[in-house]
Chains A and B, each alone.
Chain A
Amino acid sequence: MGIRLYQQPSLHSPVLIAGWPGIGNIGLIAVDALRTMVEAEDLGEIEPWEFFYPRKLIIRDGQLDDLEFPANRFYYKKSEKQDLIFFTGEEQPVDEGSAYAQGTKAYQLANLVLDVAVKFGCRKVYTSGAAVALIHHTARSKVWAVPNAAHLIEEVRSYQNTVLMSDIEGRSGQGHISGLNGLLLGVARKRGLDAICLMGEVPAYLQAFPIPYPKASRSVLEVLTEVLGITGDLEGIVSLAGHTEEEIDRLCESFPQEIKEQIDRLAREPLERTSEPGPITDEDKQRILEEIDRFFKRETKED
């Protein structure tokens, strides 16, 4: 079980920013966009074969040429303001029947990621994922932030367009972050590192679709660039988010009228994130999700 580092740069208290796939690929898109924005260089990788099943076999003239595994790569960027380490994983190590990483392999992988961060003097970690919320896809996604220590709460409150779990209606500060985007926070806490997970809001009616939702990634990216003092061009992700919104508009047009009306209500009457009763009830929410689920099961059968 190994880490391969391509180089040994001298970094000053770098911040680690890690992302794995998940609903809407929020974290992965945000981390990749930031990495590209600062032109980070290759740093190393985690050998994948102990964690993942291969994804591609290549045979040439009757001989095994290569077996490709999901990539788990580190990148770095030295800068005057803040040195950075990036980690992106193409897959989460999952057990059979599970959608998210869990168990021994996930814990091992989280520790390997932090081994590299700690080796270069990292004291702070950011991960990113999705927060499924009752919002409309034309609305700006807020960012739900969860720190791994109480002393980080005040810092999180200063972030733009960001809410804590206790700000979300009915949650009383409780919640769950699935997979490695969450697990890394716990392992970081165990190892004495500060860590914050930034989750971009994804409309609840899109959570079951295997499509990216770059609008939420954009919100996460806006927070990260501000926090890390990075100035860069967000045009790429803004354009991608706009394009995706148009696609979702077209998708929603294919929904049955009743579902469309329910979704349109979200656009007209955005859900309050306070403890005040919202205009969309839990029953409404449940009905929308069930209707959409039924609709797409029917669609799949008809394909």
Chain B
Amino acid sequence: MGEKQPFRIYKRLRIASSSLVVGWNDDASGLGTRVTDYLVKKLGAKDFAEIEPDGFFPMAGVSVSHDVVQFPECRFFYSRKHNLVICKSTPPRTDWFRFMDLVLEVAERYCHIREVYTFGAMVSLGAHTAPRTMLGVASSPEMRRELGAYDLAMDIDFETPPGQRPTLNSFFLWVARRRGIAAASLWVPIPFYLLTTEDPRAWKRVLEFLDRRFVLGLDLSDVDREVEVQDMRISQMASRSPLLSHYIQRLESNLQLTQEENEKLVKEIEEFLRKNE
């Protein structure tokens, strides 16, 4: 018996050139899941492949979230009209290099991808109503120049602080560069008090970039409505609590809260939004 192939192909595609967008489904505020699901739905993308979880995830039972069993997945979708490949994946728990190399292997072999985009959340100490300036990190000078045409902050110098580890997206950027594929990782700020709930402004910011970059023609008015609904819910909550209203006003005035105030705000907003889901 030969070695089992670590991926399954449902449909063999013949694509001359395409781009790959990768979203991780454990991102803060559900960023990866919401963006990839939105793209798949709005573009009518069809799934064509998946990577087998064995070897990348501990197969020791399953976790349960929101009353439902969870299981790791890494699925590929394709929009022929837009030459766009979308990969929605659980982040691997081990053998990271081989997993990400395999994602690129599938996308290269079957869709001839020429560039890759990953996106993730970074914690913001600002208010949810503040404008979101997205950061971009490129894998090459050419990609750096290309991203310059978009509204991204790219004048970044950074080194991982001692005791911390690089993100999976940064590792992915390096793996792509090693395979000679142009790559970029995009970082959208998410207010600290929305990290464990939802932040439609963040999804919108990523979608706006992808819409422009790939000329997708997305109508984001439905996301705008989600932004309005959330703003309204947070306003309702603030109107019932003068203290939380005061906290949010201070954040909107670019004033920072104390650690204790931060924690109180996070707790109150999480509880309120969950109750009103």
Chain A contacts to B: CB under 8 angstroms: 49-50, 53-64, 67, 95-97, 105
Question: B156 contacts A61, CB within 8 Å?
Answer: yes
Which A residues lie within 8 Å of B156 (CB)?
59, 61-62
A58–B158 Cα distance when bound, in Å, is 6
Q: Give the distance to chain A from B137, nearest Cβ to Cβ, in Å.
A: 6
Question: B136 contacts A62, CB within 8 Å?
Answer: yes
Question: A57 contacts B166, CB within 8 Å?
Answer: yes
> In terms of DSSP, what is the predominant structure of the interface of chain B?
mixed
Question: A64 contacts B136, CB within 8 Å?
Answer: no
Question: B138 contacts A55, CB within 8 Å?
Answer: no
Closest to A50 in B: B97
Given contacts A53-B171, A54-B171, A57-B159, contact A64 B138 (CB under 8 A): yes
Q: Is B124 an interface residue (CB 8 A)?
A: no
Question: A105 contacts B95, CB within 8 Å?
Answer: yes
How many Cβ-Cβ contacts under 8 Å join chain A to chain B? 72
A64–B154 Cα distance when bound, in Å, is 11
A50–B175 Cα distance when bound, in Å, is 11
Question: A67 contacts B155, CB within 8 Å?
Answer: no
Q: Which of B56-90 contact A (CB under 8 A)?
A: 58
Among the listed B93, B97, B137, B171, which residue makes an inter-chain contact with A59, where contact means beta carbons less than 8 Å apart?
B137
Among the listed A55, A63, A96, which residue makes an inter-chain contact with B165, where contact means beta carbons less than 8 Å apart?
A55
Q: Give the distance to chain B from A54, nearest Cβ to Cβ, in Å.
A: 5
Considering the complex of A and B, which 3 residue pairs feature the smallest CB-CB distances, nearest first?
A62-B154, A57-B166, A59-B158
Which B residues lie within 8 Å of A60 (CB)?
157
Which A residues lie within 8 Å of B137 (CB)?
59, 62-64
Q: Give the distance to chain A from B87, nearest Cβ to Cβ, in Å.
A: 20
Q: Is B36 an interface residue (CB 8 A)?
A: no
Among the listed B138, B141, B170, which residue makes an inter-chain contact with A67, where contact means beta carbons less than 8 Å apart?
B170
Q: Give the distance to chain A from B231, nearest Cβ to Cβ, in Å.
A: 31
Which A residues lie within 8 Å of B141 (CB)?
63
Question: A53 contacts B98, CB within 8 Å?
Answer: no
A181–B178 Cα distance when bound, in Å, is 31
Question: B93 contacts A57, CB within 8 Å?
Answer: no
**B156-169 Cβ-contact flags toward A at 8 Å (1 or 0):** 11111000011100
Which B residues lie within 8 Å of A67 (CB)?
166, 170-171, 174
Closest to B143 in A: A63
Closest to B168 in A: A53
A57–B157 Cα distance when bound, in Å, is 10
Q: Is B177 an interface residue (CB 8 A)?
A: yes
**B135-149 Cβ-contact flags toward A at 8 Å (1 or 0):** 111111100100100
Given contacts A57-B160, A96-B94, contact A64 B155 (CB under 8 A): no
Q: Give the distance to chain A from B13, nearest Cβ to Cβ, in Å.
A: 28
30 A–B pairs (Cβ distance < 8 Å), ordered by A: A49-B175, A50-B97, A50-B98, A54-B165, A54-B170, A54-B174, A57-B158, A57-B160, A57-B166, A58-B160, A59-B159, A60-B157, A61-B155, A61-B156, A62-B135, A62-B136, A62-B138, A62-B154, A62-B156, A63-B137, A63-B140, A63-B141, A64-B137, A64-B173, A64-B174, A64-B177, A67-B170, A95-B94, A96-B58, A96-B94
Closest to B185 in A: A64
Q: Give the distance to chain B from A62, nearest Cβ to Cβ, in Å.
A: 3
Closest to B171 in A: A54
Chain B contacts to A: CB under 8 angstroms: 58, 93-98, 135-141, 144, 147, 154-160, 165-167, 170-171, 173-175, 177
A253–B144 Cα distance when bound, in Å, is 56
Query: For A56, A60, A96, which residue has the most chain B Cβ atoms within 10 angstroms?
Result: A56
Which B residues lie within 8 Å of A50 (CB)?
95, 97-98
Q: Give the distance to chain A from B116, nearest Cβ to Cβ, in Å.
A: 12
Closest to B161 in A: A56
Q: Give the distance to chain B from A96, nearest Cβ to Cβ, in Å.
A: 5
Q: Give the distance to chain B from A211, nearest Cβ to Cβ, in Å.
A: 16
Query: For B98, B141, B159, B167, which residue has the most chain A Cβ atoms within 10 angstroms?
Result: B159
Closest to A49 in B: B97
Which A residues lie within 8 Å of B175 (CB)?
49
Q: Give the distance to chain A from B44, nearest Cβ to Cβ, in Å.
A: 33
A282–B93 Cα distance when bound, in Å, is 39
Which B residues lie within 8 Å of A58 (CB)?
158-160
Question: B144 contacts A63, CB within 8 Å?
Answer: yes
A57-B159, A57-B160, A64-B173 known; 20 new pairs, CB 8 Å cut-off, are A49-B175, A53-B96, A53-B171, A54-B165, A55-B166, A56-B166, A59-B156, A62-B147, A62-B154, A62-B156, A63-B138, A63-B140, A63-B144, A64-B138, A64-B174, A64-B177, A67-B166, A67-B171, A96-B58, A97-B58
A96–B96 Cα distance when bound, in Å, is 12
Which B residues lie within 8 Å of A49 (CB)?
97, 175
A54–B166 Cα distance when bound, in Å, is 7
A63–B137 Cα distance when bound, in Å, is 5
A65–B109 Cα distance when bound, in Å, is 27
Query: For A55, A57, A58, A62, which residue has the most chain B Cβ atoms within 10 angstroms?
Result: A62
Closest to B158 in A: A59
Q: Give the distance to chain B from A105, nearest Cβ to Cβ, in Å.
A: 7
Closest to B144 in A: A63
